Chain A
Amino acid sequence: MGSSDSFVKFDKVDKSYDGETLVVKDLNVDIPQGEFLTMLGPSGSGKTTTLMMLAGFETPTGGEIYLEGEAINKIPPNKRGIGMVFQNYALFPHLTVNENLAFPLEVRKLNKSDIEEKVKKTLDMVELGEFGNRMPLQLSGGQQQRVALARSLVFEPRLVLMDEPLGALDKKLREQMQYEIKHIHERIGITVVYVTHDQSEALTMSNRIAVFNDGKIQQISSPDVLYEKPENAFVANFIGENNQIKGKVKSINGKNCVVTTDKGDDITSLKINVNAVGDASTVSLRPERVEINSTEGNFENSFNAKVKELIYLGDHIRTRVEVCGNDQFIVKVPNSYKGANLKEGASVKLSWKASDSRALDLG
């Protein structure tokens, strides 16, 4: 099993803890060698369980996982040769940084000079060469994170798993570490499976993102496709900010369709996840794709709206308006010279293109 471009393969994998509900349902994923794949989803969506099955700490209740074409369900975690960065790092508190890094090498019975050399090389890679003799608890959160990363790489595993590795860091450090992990991945070309619930982290780092919800992958694609072309209402809502207008499909015309809202407004949208006239649908629209009081004429959709609230955010003004019966509709107005001098309560005209609005399932 396993084709040449599939380094890790999940084949119809199910997982249940209690025998009544499935935490992971019929999971099928192929991960090519060298890819940085992120599993993104809310808590309880099955992403961590999936990672734990890959690491060998949980056994699938159905299906099979392949690593380089080899079925690994029955291989214990210590024989899988997969590196892992744990949540809260799991650095051994009674060992120094050097000893932590040497641990996987000693287990593999490398000779002493090789161990020393590899430990030093890996520590240098994460820029912690000076800290080898410290105890983990003497290091800052960011430094501990790097040690954990170094430890997962030092024995040159074929695959590295990361379970929310940046969750405990503050925002600034987290962003810095995102780039560092990304660069290390690019430099050594290792395959990475990364779990997070933070969508900006996923967008920054990944080649591909698998969005999990309810034990299933909702969509798996590159960050830009995921953001710009969400295939269902959950993905559209989960990734980035999103305006939703509910309605019913009135007509279908090739790749476009018309959705009528409860108030009777007709919205021309791309037909993405609706099948027939009469289907309930959610129209999804990114806030930055909406123009206010535009003078140009080539918008398929144009509606009158009322400004409800203005929130000043420096580079843009977040404007909440009521349109098509939705009073939580958000428009991002750039704070530029042409930024409209809007007042709360003013009537405005909103316009957007059919190609920016996507008719999805009800969600």
Chain B
Amino acid sequence: MNEKTAGSILTTEGIPLKVSLQKAERRNKIRAILLVAPLLLFILFTFLIPIGDMLLRSVDDSYINTVFPKTFKEYKKWDRQGLPSEELYKTMFFEVKEGSGRSIGKATTRMNYAKSGWKSLLKKSKRKFKKIEEGPYKEQMIAIDKRWADIEYWKALGVMVDPTTAGYYLNAVDLKYNVDKEVVRQKENRRIYNHTWVKTFKVSILVMIFCLMLGYPISYLLSTLPLKYSNLLMICVLLPFWTSLLVRTVAWMVMLQQKGVFNNLLVMSNIIADENRFKLMYNETATIIVMTQILLPFMVLPLYSVMKTISPNYMRAALNLGASPLHAFWKIYMPNSVPGISAGCMLVFILAIGYYITPELVGGKDGQMIGNWIAYHLKTTLNWGLSAALGAILLGVLTVLYWVYNKLVGIENIKLG
């Protein structure tokens, strides 16, 4: 042994104990790493990298700089007073004329977010630029389309000079940059997201509350019944899990539509008149009803697992000490079930806030949530930047809620089973 390890405890063979221990533990460590490695890799590639990519995409504005690199270089020299110089027109001319139609098409989509009109202007220009052989270019371009003389278009390019942008986040809360890169509100008829955000929270909170109201008594019954009955009841609670989400949602459509089972029953039993059928489908009510049903098991399971651990003797003791059944429940049983309540509420709320397929199918125009707009921009408008920004905000909100929850209740109080 050398001096470095002098003073440390040695094993009987004279090896320092720590070295010996490490050696003994090494095999276990390698084993542990190998066991978790597949899952870690899976999470890395399917979860962490996509989320990172999404966050980057939500601020990324570099594509347009790669399509018009020289133009933007020249653009930075412009003083934004009066029309740009011949030199800027010239670089723009050549980059439009010589650029590939596809990359310019993609770039114009982005340019249209800054100022609508860019897309048609460039499409028309690219076609006509072919005939122009020599300068000066400024007059000829203006002759092709007088929008080239509109300073607003040129100013709007300024929003895109920076390779990163907060523009998508602004859009996600009904704000935007104007051509001078000042933050302004969207036009009245284009304000849709704030309204949707509020609705998303409202629906999620309502679904959470309804799930708790429906789930708490069921869980209580489940936890107090003898095993043979509680198993049967548990199966009823879990049955929805065994059925496809789509099938259940469609079943609800059958139930709730105006000529559906529910309304027919009410009409048949003369509770409502035929012309006064309830509008339960394709609106917010439908979204709330169906989501409550679908998410109910996520409330019941954590509640049940916590209630199962609450000894019936607590209630008995409280009664024995003189408390009325209601008082005993409120002061003794309820506080002990809080870990289950909070776990269930968190679970349901998190699932509800990002819900997509159910509002899509039953929500109609009125029952759309933020998830539907994310999907819409991903699939229909291909505005991935905005989708990513909406998703990132959702992620951020949940992180904040998680943090607040941890401060208030303590995350270690959550029990899922």
Contacts and interface: CB of A to CB of B under 8 A. Distances in A.
B318 interface: yes
B378 to A, nearest CB: 46
B317 interface: yes
B323 A83 contact: no
A57 B315 CA distance: 11
A57 B319 CA distance: 9
Count chain B CB atoms within 10 A of each CB in A57, A78, A86, A91 and give the residue with the most. A78
Interface stretch (A102-110, A276-284, A310-318, A319-327): A102-110
A103 B316 contact: no
A103 B320 contact: no
Contacts of B135: none
B327 to A, nearest CB: 7
B313 A104 contact: no
A55 B320 contact: yes
Interface string B305-336: 00000010110111111111101100110011
Contacts of B324: 78
Interface in B297-311: 311
Given A90-B311, A90-B314, A84 B323 contact: no
A83 B322 CA distance: 9
A107 B322 contact: yes
A329 interface: no
A104 B316 contact: no
A56 B325 CA distance: 13
A69 interface: no
Given A92-B332, A94-B336, A83 B314 contact: no
Count chain A CB atoms within 10 A of each CB in B314, B317, B318, B332 and give the residue with the most. B317
A107 B321 contact: yes
A264 B70 CA distance: 125
Contact of B322 (A55, A91, A104): A104
A122 to B, nearest CB: 13
A87 interface: yes
A345 interface: no
Interface string B369-387: 0000000000000000000
Contact of A78 (B314, B322, B332): B322
Contacts, number: 62
Given A107-B322, A151-B321, A77 B316 contact: yes
Contact of B323 (A78, A82, A88): A78
Contact of A77 (B320, B331, B336): B320
Contact of A57 (B316, B325, B328, B331): B316
Given A93-B336, A94-B335, A107-B327, A155 B321 contact: yes
Contacts of A240: none
Given A92-B332, A94-B336, A107-B327, A86 B317 contact: yes
Nearest to A76: B319
Contact of B317 (A79, A90, A155): A90
Given A90-B311, A94-B335, A94-B336, A78 B317 contact: no
Contact of A84 (B317, B327, B332, B336): B317
A44 interface: no
Contacts of A363: none
Interface string A231-275: 000000000000000000000000000000000000000000000
Contact of B319 (A78, A83, A87, A93): A78
A189 interface: no
A87 B313 contact: yes
Contact of A90 (B313, B323, B325, B331): B313
A81 interface: yes
Contacts of A77: 316, 319-320
Nearest to B316: A57
A94 B321 CA distance: 16
Contacts of A103: 318, 321, 323, 331
A78 B336 contact: no
Given A78-B322, A84-B317, A84-B320, 7 more contacts: A56-B320, A57-B316, A77-B320, A78-B321, A81-B322, A90-B313, A92-B317
